[in-house]
A and B are shown apart, each in its own frame.
Chain A
Amino acid sequence: GESVGLHLPTLSVQEGDNSIINCAYSNSASDYFIWYKQESGKGPQFIIDIRSNMDKRQGQRVTVLLNKTVKHLSLQIAATQPGDSAVYFCAAGPGTYKYIFGTGTRLKVLA
């Protein structure tokens, strides 16, 4: 079946460094990709999305890169801050509500 998986269960980065979280998906027909994060005790919080007709999209301190050839998605966070500590998830889908969600990478920011 379809799958979405994050490469690392945990990522530790020094405060001020850039973070890169990677994700792989299996369905080449996926058209819409999202990154969201979840802090302890809270619900998921949307970060950024990208559609399959793009290969890069930037937000505030975040960039998502999409490589459809190898079915790979990455989230880059610039100048990582302690407030960025959370579990980060990616998801892929056809562009409606039917997403396949990945398992999550816990980002730890070291002071």
Chain B
Amino acid sequence: DVKVTQSSRYLVKRTGEKVFLECVQDMDHENMFWYRQDPGLGLRLIYFSYDVKMKEKGDIPEGYSVSREKKERFSLILESASTNQTSMYLCASSSNLDSFSGYTFGSGTRLTVV
């Protein structure tokens, strides 16, 4: 069964901390994504990576950075966590950008910044 695994289900961090959210996929997909999901809002794309060491900014990249040193792993980094980054973070991978049907999502990391 194909999988996207996010390292933490729940995370509580303090304001100003550097936070790493990890995502690993076992499908050899080129494309990986980080989204943010807030109540009352749809998914919003933070960053997209189409290959190792390659990335593109999404709709809301401010306050975030990413790292993709290996094909299977895509990390989201909050350089200095703030309370407005409290949210559900979802990672996804896909081999095909032409269709959403090929996206596989992780179960999400619920991050609380206090």
**Contact in complex: B98, A96 (CB < 8 Å):** yes
**Contact in complex: B43, A44 (CB < 8 Å):** yes
Assembled-state Cα–Cα distance A98/B97 (Å)? 9
**Contact in complex: B45, A44 (CB < 8 Å):** no
**Contact in complex: A43, B108 (CB < 8 Å):** yes
Closest to A90 in B: B42
Assembled-state Cα–Cα distance A44/B17 (Å)? 29
Interface residues of A in 68-100 (CB under 8 A from B): 89, 91, 95-100
**Contact in complex: B101, A49 (CB < 8 Å):** yes
**Contact in complex: B101, A46 (CB < 8 Å):** yes
Given A43-B90, A43-B92, CB of A96 within 8 Å of CB of B42: no
B15-41 vs A, CB cutoff 8 Å, 1 = contact: the mask equals 000000000000000010100000011
Given A42-B107, A44-B90, CB of A89 within 8 Å of CB of B42: yes
B48: contacting residue among A44, A97, A101, CB under 8 A: A97
Given A43-B4, A44-B105, A91-B42, CB of A99 within 8 Å of CB of B100: yes
Closest CB in chain A relative to B95 CB, distance in Å = 12
Task: For B40, list chain A residues within 8 Å (CB).
Answer: 103
- Tell whether A34 is near chain B: CB-to-CB under 8 Å: yes
**Contact in complex: A103, B42 (CB < 8 Å):** yes
In the complex, 18 of the A-B residue pairs with CB atoms within 8 angstroms, ordered by the A residue number, are A32-B100, A36-B100, A43-B4, A43-B106, A44-B90, A46-B100, A46-B103, A91-B43, A96-B98, A97-B31, A97-B45, A97-B48, A98-B45, A100-B42, A101-B42, A101-B44, A103-B40, A103-B41
- Measured CB to CB, the residues of B under 8 A from A are 4, 31, 33, 40-45, 48, 90, 92, 94, 97-101, 103, 105-108
In addition to A32-B99, A32-B100, A99-B45, 17 A-B residue pairs with Cβ atoms within 8 Å of each other are A43-B4, A43-B90, A43-B105, A43-B108, A44-B92, A44-B105, A46-B101, A49-B99, A96-B97, A97-B45, A97-B97, A99-B43, A101-B42, A101-B43, A101-B44, A103-B42, A104-B42
